[in-house]
């Protein structure tokens, strides 16, 4: 069986957050280096990389995508995405080097697959402030263009800050009230959706749980709940698509979130690899 490699995940994170480091509009060469690394990995996997360039105040920004065509004649596909920029002042190992590392390893394992339903892997630029939730956010530009073309996206999955796992009680916190319904030990991955996307999220959660015993918690809630809309999936909600986020809950668990010490050595690679293996098996099930 194809397996996610802990060492390969570690290599991707160290490249992005250790060698390249902080990558955003104030570090444009690093942002370009991250894009080139992702594109190079995908080409090595045998994909044709499509750079999607747009202008933001006269400066070129680039989303990257690769597509694995499905045998289903409906052309419908599942989109899996992660942002490759980091917040100002942080090297972004977990946020979101971990998401990109998982994206690259998932695409690697699918590179020779023949699914019934197509898969598209997308690396988004400019998720972090000052772009977040604005018209120039990379995923917002992408989702708007997809809607205009009437792209048949079955649903979108955002990989966002996914490599912190703790076994000690009290390691998990929540927005107000949620602590009464969820565990206080931060050893799980969370699937987070709005109410409209609940069916797609639960379908995926069922496939995940059928494939792995890795702990999973799910929530479908209005996007006014703090954290529910805090990634690229919200761009797809705004353009009429179903979408959900896969996350370790970020600031509610990870003490280095958006900090200068969000470095590669802070991540928990063994459970990160097991969780990503579960995502691979989930996607294999969902795509046939």
Chain segment 115-157, per-residue pLDDT in tens: 999 999 999 999 999 999 999 999 999 999 999 999 999 999 9
Q: How far apart are CA 36 and CA 49, in angstroms?
A: 11
pLDDT cut 90: percent of the chain above it? 91
Band of the pLDDT at 89, cuts 50, 70, 90?
very high
CB contact at 8 A, 226 and 175: yes
Give the number of C-alpha atoms closer than 13 A to the C-alpha of residue 147, restricted to the C-beta side. 14
CATH number at residue 251: 3.40.630.10
**Contacts of the segment 145-154: beta carbons below 8 A, 24+ positions apart:** 145/52, 146/239, 146/241, 147/239, 147/240, 147/241, 152/74, 152/75, 152/76, 152/77, 153/76, 153/77, 153/78, 153/79, 153/120, 153/236, 153/241, 154/76, 154/77, 154/78, 154/117, 154/200, 154/242
Residue 47: pLDDT above 90? yes
Residue 177: the pLDDT is 86
Residue 1: pLDDT above 70? no
Give the number of C-alpha atoms closer than 13 A to the C-alpha of residue 177, restricted to the C-beta side. 3
**Is 0.85 topped by the overall pTM?**
yes
When pLDDT is averaged across residues 215-239 and rounded to a whole number, the result is 96
CB contact at 8 A, 116 and 71: yes
Residue 75 is assigned to a structural domain of this protein: yes
Total of domains in the chain: 1
Residue 73: pLDDT above 80? no
When pLDDT is averaged across residues 231-243 and rounded to a whole number, the result is 98
Residue 103 is assigned to a structural domain of this protein: yes
Residue 59: pLDDT above 90? no
When pLDDT is averaged across residues 82-90 and rounded to a whole number, the result is 98
Domain holding 245, by residue range, is: 6-287
| Spatial CA neighbour of 69 closest among 110, 40, 35, 41 | 110
Residue 75: the pLDDT is 87
Residue 72 is assigned to a structural domain of this protein: yes
- DSSP 8-state symbol, 168: S
Using a 10 angstrom Cβ sphere, with 0-12 exposed, 13-18 middle and 19 or more buried, the burial of residue 150 is exposed
Mean pLDDT score of the chain: 96
Residue 236 is assigned to a structural domain of this protein: yes
Residue 1 is assigned to a structural domain of this protein: no
């Amino acid at each position: 069986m194809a397996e996610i490699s802990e060492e390969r995940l570690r290599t991707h994170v160290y490249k992005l957050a250790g060698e390249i480091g902080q990558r955003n509009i104030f570090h444009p060469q690093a942002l370009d280096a991250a894009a080139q690394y992702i594109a190079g990995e995908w080409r090595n996997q045998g994909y044709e990389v499509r750079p999607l360039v747009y202008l933001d105040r006269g400066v070129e920004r680039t989303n990257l995508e690769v597509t694995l065509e499905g045998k289903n004649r409906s052309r419908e596909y599942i989109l899996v995405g992660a942002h490759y920029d980091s917040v100002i002042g942080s090297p972004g190992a977990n946020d979101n080097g971990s998401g990109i590392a998982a994206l690259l390893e998932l695409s690697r394992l699918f590179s020779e697959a023949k699914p019934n339903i197509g898969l598209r892997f997308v690396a988004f630029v400019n998720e972090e402030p000052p772009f977040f939730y604005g018209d120039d956010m990379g995923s917002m530009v992408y989702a708007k263009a997809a809607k205009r073309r009437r792209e048949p996206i079955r649903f979108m999955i955002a990989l966002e800050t996914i490599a912190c796992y703790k076994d000690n009680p009290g390691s998990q916190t929540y927005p107000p009230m949620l602590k009464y319904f969820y565990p206080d030990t931060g050893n799980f991955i969370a699937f987070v959706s709005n109410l409209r996307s609940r069916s797609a999220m639960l379908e995926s959660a069922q496939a995940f749980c059928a494939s792995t015993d890795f702990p999973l918690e799910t929530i479908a809630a209005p996007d006014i709940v703090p954290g529910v809309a805090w990634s690229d999936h919200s761009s797809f909600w705004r353009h009429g698509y179903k979408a959900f986020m896969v996350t370790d809950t970020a600031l509610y668990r990870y003490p280095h979130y958006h900090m200068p010490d969000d470095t590669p050595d802070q991540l928990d690679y063994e459970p990160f690899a097991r969780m990503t293996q579960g995502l691979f098996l989930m996607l294999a099930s969902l795509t046939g």
